[in-house]
Amino acid sequence: MRPDVLPVMLVFLPFLAGLLQFIAGRPAPRLGNVLVGVNLLLVLALIPGVADEGAIVANLGGWSEPLAIHLLADGLALLMLLLTALLAVAVSLYAMAAWRDQHHDALRFWTLWPLLLGSLNALFLSRDLFNIYVTLELVTLAAIPLVLLAGPGKTVDAALRYLLFALLGSLIYLAGVALLYAQAGTLDLALLADALPDSTLAGSLGASLIIVGILIKAAILPFHVWLPAAHGGAPAAVSAILSALVVKAAAYLLLRLWSGPLDPLVTPAAGQLLGALGALAILFGSWQAFRQERLKLVVAYSTVAQLGYMLLFFPMAVTAAWQGAVYHGLAHGLAKGALFLAAGNILLYLGHDRLREMRGIDRPLAVSLLAFGLAGVSIMGLPPSGGFTAKWLLLTASVETGQWWWTITLLLGGLLAAAYVFRVLRLAFLQPPENVPDRPGMVPPPLMAWSATVLAVLAIVLGVVSAPLLELLGSPVGGSE
């Protein structure tokens, strides 16, 4: 099989599976699980090619350069695909157990989830501002109905708000794309940087609009307001996908565009501004996470905070910062997936997720709490974990560039994260109250408990296998090189 078939399959197989599920009309979780398994294998099969050649290009339709639709897998795209594929497997196994008896919800989940997966894959592989717009929209349109699976009427407000922000973000992004197209006459990421005239007002405006649009989608402070309710309210499997992948995809896009086509347009001041937004997100998000009374909201606000770390690349813009930001994306994805799945298990067992009433829950939920604890280690950025590797890289970048204010932000962020993670973990160690309240829920089946734990363990393992992954990623040079 030629390697350039792989990217094409990564996009079309999930869509096909989603379509099949829709036609079948009754939930087929097996199909979904086969799909995510195949998806993972396809991504793994991509690794040798990308490692050898730097990138694999698939040219759809065979048109020549200005019209061509490329799918291109380079190191950055591959790492994101890998993260997505791993999470997809864990989440699908979890979802299979979680929705076993709910026919209606299961049907909707197994239809939408493959579509979302395919859209994410397409987003990571796209090399064209307009295709990226389309895939961003697809991601949003598949994600929002998933939020509604929480139950009748529960998350309608959250989903509507999510929809509103997402559409606003898309519109602004599209306006920026139009401006750039008027200037450069191409939308291809590889050609754009050279085609853009130097420092025109329209060019700068276009770049700003694109960036703002993405910031809204990535829920970066101050555009985070839609996130906690949507991520906190959705069912656990959906929350995991949204927090670990969907917002991450937008943050990924910002990294990709900034270091590629937008490179001639961006200024150091803009980088500092984005960094400042990131730092604010870290501090504010962590503080909010610490103050929440419900477990899933703690985890959701933690996402607001953690996304901020990825923005610290922009002011520093050196290789270590690039590696740190991307690695943080990976580590956070795995850890956050584990946190949401574990939180879902706790919710299932207790029938609620109010922190006050959670004392002494350790025994029946030991595995889920283990997952929460291990994922927490990565979220706090303590070694050995992917989160620590990322923090270390970002710290060295801040020392290298002499921008000490990010050093302080990073250290402070770690302490704040410890505050909210341990606030939850301590509940497991507190003595149960005298009269143990009636706990209606069931003990989560092993599949649900272990899928969370596997993700958490992967987040830890990420701290030990960073050398080959970072080599795969390379340095922050233009998109297709």
Partner 1 sequence: MSGLYQAMPLWVLLSSLLAAAVILALGEDHPRLRIGINLAAALLKLVLVGVMLLGVRAGHEFLLRVPLMPGIDLVLHADALSMLFISLSALLWLATTIYAIAYLEDSPNRARFFGFFSLCVAATMGIATAGNLFTFFLFYEMLTLSTWPLVVHRGTEKAMRAGRGYLWYTLGGSAVLLLGIVLLHGLAGSQDFVAGGTLEHLVDSHPLALTGIFLLLIGGMGVKAALAPVHGWLPTAMVAPAPVSALLHAVAVVKAGAFGIVRVVYDVYGINLMQDLGLAQLLAIMASITIIYGSLRAIWQTDLKRRLAYSTVSQVSYIALGIALANPLASIGGLVHLVHQGLMKITLFFCAGCYAETHGIHAIEDLDGIGRRMPWTTAMFTLGALGMIGLPPLAGFISKWYLGLGAVAAGQFWVVGVLLASTVLNAIYFLPILHRVWFRPPRDEQTEGLAEAAPGLLGPTLFAGFAALAAGLFAGFDWSPLAWVELLVEREYSP
Binding residues vs partner 1 (CB under 8 A): 360, 362-363, 366, 370, 377, 382-384, 388-389, 392-393, 395-396, 399-400, 407, 411-412, 414-415, 418, 422, 426, 429-431, 464, 466-467, 470-471
Residues in the chain: 481
Q: State in angstroms the smallest separation of the CB of 383 from partner 1.
A: 4
Could you tell me which of 321, 287, 325, 331 has the C-alpha nearest to residue 308? 325
Distances (CA, A) of 28 to 9, 89, 110, 235: 21, 15, 7, 19
Query: Which C-beta is closer to partner 1: that of 35 or that of 427?
Result: 427
Contacts with 443 (C-beta within 8 Å, 6 or more apart), sequence order: 349, 364, 365
DSSP string, 74-131: EHHHHHHHHHHHHHHHHHHHHHHHHTTT-HHHHHHHHHHHHHHHHHHHHHHHB-BHHH
Query: Which C-beta is closer to partner 1: that of 162 or that of 313?
Result: 313
Structural element, H or E, at residue 57:
strand 55-60
Q: State in angstroms the smallest separation of the CB of 373 from partner 1.
A: 9
Query: Which C-beta is closer to partner 1: that of 312 or that of 418?
Result: 418
DSSP three-state, residue 220: coil
Are the C-beta atoms of 18 and 57 separated by less than 8 Å? Answer: no
Contacts with 222 (C-beta within 8 Å, 6 or more apart), sequence order: 277
Query: Which C-beta is closer to partner 1: that of 170 or that of 378?
Result: 378
The DSSP symbol for 127 reads: -
Q: State in angstroms the smallest separation of the CB of 304 from partner 1.
A: 22
Q: State in angstroms the smallest separation of the CB of 430 from partner 1.
A: 5
Query: Which C-beta is closer to partner 1: that of 67 or that of 436?
Result: 436
Q: State in angstroms the smallest separation of the CB of 467 from partner 1.
A: 5
Query: Which C-beta is closer to partner 1: that of 20 or that of 412?
Result: 412
Q: State in angstroms the smallest separation of the CB of 182 from partner 1.
A: 42
Phi, psi angle pair for 56, to nearest 5° = -120, 130
Query: Which C-beta is closer to partner 1: that of 245 or that of 370?
Result: 370
Rounded Cα distance, 393 and 401, in Å: 12
Q: State in angstroms the smallest separation of the CB of 317 from partner 1.
A: 17
